[in-house]
Amino acid sequence: MQYVTRRPIDVHALLSQVADPALGGTAMFLGSVRRGEDDGPVDAIDYSAYQDMVETEFAKIVEEAAAQWPGVRVVGAHRIGLVPAGEPSIAVVAAAPHRAEAFAACRHTIEEAKKRLPVWKKEIFTDGTEAWRNNDQPERDAEPTPS
Amino acid sequence: MQYVTRRPIDVHALLSQVADPALGGTAMFLGSVRRGEDDGPVDAIDYSAYQDMVETEFAKIVEEAAAQWPGVRVVGAHRIGLVPAGEPSIAVVAAAPHRAEAFAACRHTIEEAKKRLPVWKKEIFTDGTEAWRNNDQPERDAEPTPS
Amino acid sequence: MHFREALSSSTTVTVTVRAFARYAEILGLETTTVELADPATVGDAVKRLRESIPNGHLLPDRPLVAVNSEHALAEAPLHDGDELALLPPLAGG
Amino acid sequence: MHFREALSSSTTVTVTVRAFARYAEILGLETTTVELADPATVGDAVKRLRESIPNGHLLPDRPLVAVNSEHALAEAPLHDGDELALLPPLAGG
């Protein structure tokens, strides 16, 4: 199953992929394009990716999680292209025999994905301006797009 | 929104209830009826509840989470009646500005729900036998139904 | 939801008892009432149930209980009109 | 995916360079090739790009890079046919 997609994230499809009567606990994380008080008037984020590398690196993250929490199943998805504010751009689902491992594997996978996957985002504001945004930048300090 | 339901858990409906462009992180937990190697041939679990108390107690848990993590929105559902193996019986969804609070509020809510909500389960095995099951009982040691 | 003030001069309290799950099976009933001398506690009501209902002795001495939908201890007071719920070990999720 | 063995006797290595996101905007290109004296490292390739491409000096001295889709350091060797990716600070999720 491919991690990168240009379509809206299909939560049911992800849950189906890990469904197994032996796995009683399923944890999911959805990260959405945020437009809060501190975010400025963000209309959407335009995500781009180095797709081949994203796929191989995400497969490694999943393998590592399976090694650390035996029996856990992990899947994920990252939407690229234009994602409107309020819609999910990233999803991680981890199913495990019990809930502690499900939460741990889900959290670990999203943290590793944020750190390791070559994905970039450009914020699109309501006034039509754009800015590249790093994950470690404070919200009001996004790097302006060179003109 | 009522917590106790006799219908299959509707993940999309729960996610819609917490959706808000200011809340960029959403964590969900689904607990399903398990039939693993150590569980015996469980066909289904018959859940019952003291419904009035479940509703008031769950509302308290949600209020406590909102006080501990300001801005977080938490919803949940517990299916009662006969739930077939592999299907979810409980769901908790927490949406927050950032993922750390979403995970923390989701985990806290499921732990409190398990500890405090008056819900009971009777395992129904493939051979037609039944057994009440406590959350703190080891799997092979379920309490037999008195005949 | 109860009528403590209206009946504060009565010398007995009557509470509705609800039994759930395995306790309902053991007792063969889901609801009953008990009348107790005022003042009464949860412990008094449980003692009465254990002594007066068939199979009542199969209940624990100190079962998990709720009074008017709130978790309560054996020492909690009972008032006329209260609902006392006998809760088997919780097993949600 | 590369041809190191077939070309091991050559005295140069040619690598495909891919630039992403803001680096693609800065350089005005998404892909190019560089030819380097063998042996060559990631650092050598970045130095060449910074010196020879318009706006190349706007790249960091040590950008985040991948070689053949694996995260790599500036000291990593490059072989003929390798794909070197220049990765702006990651911002997924």
**pLDDT given at position A134:** 81
Instruction: Using the structure block, give the residue that is written with the tokens 């995260």.
Output: D71
pLDDT tens for B47-57 read: 999 999 999 99
Select the residue of D26, D85, D89 nearest A50 (Cβ to Cβ).
D85
Interchain CB distance below 8 Å, C69 and B116? no
Q: Which residues pair with A143 in a beta bridge?
A: A132
**pLDDT given at position D1:** 46
Total H helices, total E strands in chain D: 2, 7
Residue B52: which region, alpha, beta or left (left: phi > 0; alpha: psi -120 to 50)? alpha
DSSP letter, residue B18 = H
**pLDDT given at position A122:** 96
The β-bridge relationship of strands B73-79 and B4-5 is parallel
List chain C residues with CB under 8 Å of B76.
none
pLDDT tens for B1-39 read: 799 999 999 999 999 999 999 999 999 999 999 997 777
Reference B44, options B122, B146, B113, B137; nearest CA is B122
Query: Under a CB-based contact definition with an 8 Å cutoff, are residues A34 and B22 in contact?
Result: yes
Name the residue with higher pLDDT: A145 or A10. A10
Integer Cα distance of A17 and C36 in angstroms: 57
Q: Closest Cα of chain D to A2: distance in Å?
A: 16
**pLDDT given at position A144:** 44
Q: Closest Cα of chain B to C8: distance in Å?
A: 26
- B10 CB near a chain A CB, below 8 Å? no
**pLDDT given at position C10:** 61
Integer Cα distance of D35 and D29 in angstroms: 17
Question: Mean of the pLDDT values across residues A40-50?
Answer: 94
Between vectors from CA C7 to CA C2 and to CA C12, what angle results, nearest 5°?
95
pLDDT tens for A103-119 read: 999 999 999 999 999 99
Mean pLDDT of chain A: 91
Integer Cα distance of A14 and D87 in angstroms: 28
Query: Under a CB-based contact definition with an 8 Å cutoff, are residues B78 and B117 in contact?
Result: yes
Instruction: Using the structure block, give the residue that is written with the tokens 């051979």.
Output: B127
**pLDDT given at position B36:** 79
Structure tokens at C40: 């009464």
Question: Mean of the pLDDT values across residues D71-81?
Answer: 97
Interchain CB distance below 8 Å, C21 and B132? yes
**pLDDT given at position D93:** 84
Question: Mean of the pLDDT values across residues A45-50?
Answer: 97
Interchain CB distance below 8 Å, B22 and A11? no
**pLDDT given at position B136:** 66
List chain A residues with CB under 8 Å of B15.
11, 30
**pLDDT given at position B145:** 45
Mean pLDDT of chain B: 91
Task: Give yes or no for residue C3 having a pLDDT over 80.
Answer: no
- B131 CB near a chain A CB, below 8 Å? no
Instruction: Using the structure block, give the residue that is written with the tokens 């309020």.
Output: A86
DSSP letter, residue A46 = E
- Identify the H or E element spanning D77: strand D77-78
Integer Cα distance of D3 and A125 in angstroms: 45
In chain B, DSSP assigns E strands to 4-5, 25-32, 42-49, 73-79, 81-84, 88-96, 119-125, 130-133, 143-144
Reference C40, options C86, C91, C4, C89; nearest CA is C4
Q: What percent of chain D has pLDDT over 90?
A: 87
**pLDDT given at position A135:** 74
pLDDT tens for C37-89 read: 999 999 999 999 999 999 999 999 999 999 999 999 999 999 999 999 999 99
List chain B residues with CB under 8 Å of C30.
none
Q: Closest Cα of chain B to C90: distance in Å?
A: 6
Q: How many residues are there in chain D?
A: 93
pTM here is: 0.89
Reference D47, options D71, D63, D69; nearest CA is D63
A16 burial class (0-12, 13-18, 19+ CB within 10 angstroms)?
A: exposed
Query: Under a CB-based contact definition with an 8 Å cutoff, are residues A2 and A78 in contact?
Result: no
Name the residue with higher pLDDT: B39 or A89. A89
Full 3-state SS string of chain C: CCCCCCCCCCCEEEEEEEECHHHHHHHCCCEEEEEEECCEEHHHHHHHHHHHCCCHHHCCCCCEEEECCEEECCCCEECCCCEEEEECCCCCC
**pLDDT given at position C41:** 98
Question: Mean of the pLDDT values across residues D30-48?
Answer: 97
Between vectors from CA B136 to CA C45 and to CA B49, what angle results, nearest 5°?
55
pLDDT-based confidence at residue A81 (cuts at 50, 70, 90): very high
**pLDDT given at position D9:** 54
**pLDDT given at position B75:** 98
Q: Which residues pair with B131 in a beta bridge?
A: B123, B144
Task: Give yes or no for residue D19 having a pLDDT over 50.
Answer: yes
Q: What percent of chain A has pLDDT over 90?
A: 84
pLDDT tens for B84-101 read: 999 999 999 999 999 999
Query: Under a CB-based contact definition with an 8 Å cutoff, are residues B69 and B96 in contact?
Result: yes
Instruction: Using the structure block, give the residue that is written with the tokens 């108390």.
Output: B53
Name the residue with higher pLDDT: A82 or A141. A82
